[in-house]
Amino acid sequence: MGSKRAMLENGLGELFEKEVPKALRFVDLFSGSGAVAARVSTRFPIQVLAFDLQRYSAVLTAAVIDRNQELKGSYALESWIRRARKRVTKVALTPSKLTRMFVADARAWSEIQAELPITKAYGGHYFSPQQSVWIDALRATLPKNEPSRTVALAALIRASSACVAAPGHTAQPFQPTATAKRYLAEAWSKDVVARTIAELRTLAAQFAVMIGKADVADANDAAKCVRERDLVFIDPPYSGVHYSRFYHVLETIAQGCCGEVSGIGRYPAANLRPRSKYSVGSESAKALGELFQRVASNGARAIVTFPDHTCSNGLSGNLVREIAGQYFTIREQSVKSRFSSLGGTGDLRKNQAGRAARKHASELILFLEPK
């Protein structure tokens, strides 16, 4: 999951220490992994609101910010795992060696599991059949009551993300080729259940100082609820390919189902995945301008982060600075960051994404005050 975790230790965290205490609320308009919203809500006595187009993001974020107490009770956890275990049949597809033939069998078996949506869509691809059967069982038997349900679902999403047989995101699974086979074998050998339990314990211990709210919404709509004295965090997409293409597996686990999937990436149909103006070259600058205008006219201050180069959605550090300058006075710093190129050149678009799969880059941090 792309995240601001590294930047929080590198400039961004310090800026929060200085600016968050002056604000009444903190509003994260592109919450992604939820790392930023969780960081602020667990450290400061301030309400945090978080929004993203994708449900999995809202689940991950809500698991921490919607709660102001540790989640206690290992009994609930044990009974969840027990309920799931009752549904899990041992899949008789466990090879000593991962061959093309075995992978083909795993895919064929998975595809006919009509009652198991995650197995049917992704078994034999992103997960081994046995892993995906467990993910289906855990998804189907989540605790009924909140906040246990959301925390358990977030733990399952995080564990699945850690086990997925794909390079960093889920645009394409590893294939059983001579070079990628060992990565596929390594991913398929991971214990989804043990990881889910570990993630749940980590999440259960985190909670907000003040109860906040995470939701699925378009940032430009959510910005209408921004008020004077809010501090708004804006970390918009930089990819010209929709994020829903990279995170559809996590989104399916969050939703519990998906429609038919197709292609090597096993994507649900494009019209069933969230579409963002920020990932369309001809619309991104206009969308960002409208967002800045809304935040500034509501009298709120903002922190923006953006890679300091031209990105595949047509936005660049310079352009973001120029658009922001129409509505705000700007204080600026630049920090070294690890930059995920998401699809970059390897997303089947023959470099239409327009940049190399960079690993290290500079990232701008702009602090904005309405003019």
Ligand X SMILES: C[S@@+](CC[C@H](N)C(=O)[O-])C[C@H]1O[C@@H](n2cnc3c(N)ncnc32)[C@H](O)[C@@H]1O
Residues that bind ligand X (CB under 6 A): 2-4, 30, 32-33, 35-36, 51-54, 57, 218-219, 235, 237, 243, 276, 278
Which CB sits closer to ligand X, 84 or 287? 287
Select 235 or 308, whichever has its Cβ closest to ligand X: 235
Structure tokens at 60: 């991950």
- Taking the least distance from each CB to ligand X, the nearer of 95 and 167 is 167
In the complex with ligand X, the residue whose CB is nearer, 119 or 312, is 312
Q: How far is the CB of 169 from ligand X (least distance, A)?
A: 11
Task: Considering the complex, state which of residue 60 and residue 106 has its C-beta at the smaller distance from ligand X.
Answer: 60
Name the residue nearer to ligand X (CB basis): 30 or 80: 30
Nearer to ligand X by C-beta: 51 or 80? 51
Q: How far is the CB of 7 from ligand X (least distance, A)?
A: 8
Instruction: Give least dist CB 87 to ligand X, A.
Output: 31
Q: How far is the CB of 220 from ligand X (least distance, A)?
A: 6
CB of 37 to ligand X, least distance (A): 8
Instruction: Report which residue's Cβ sits closest to ligand X.
Output: 32
For residue 29, the minimal CB distance to ligand X (Å) is 6
Q: How far is the CB of 214 from ligand X (least distance, A)?
A: 12
State how far the Cα of 104 lies from the Cα of 204, in Å rounded to an integer. Answer: 39
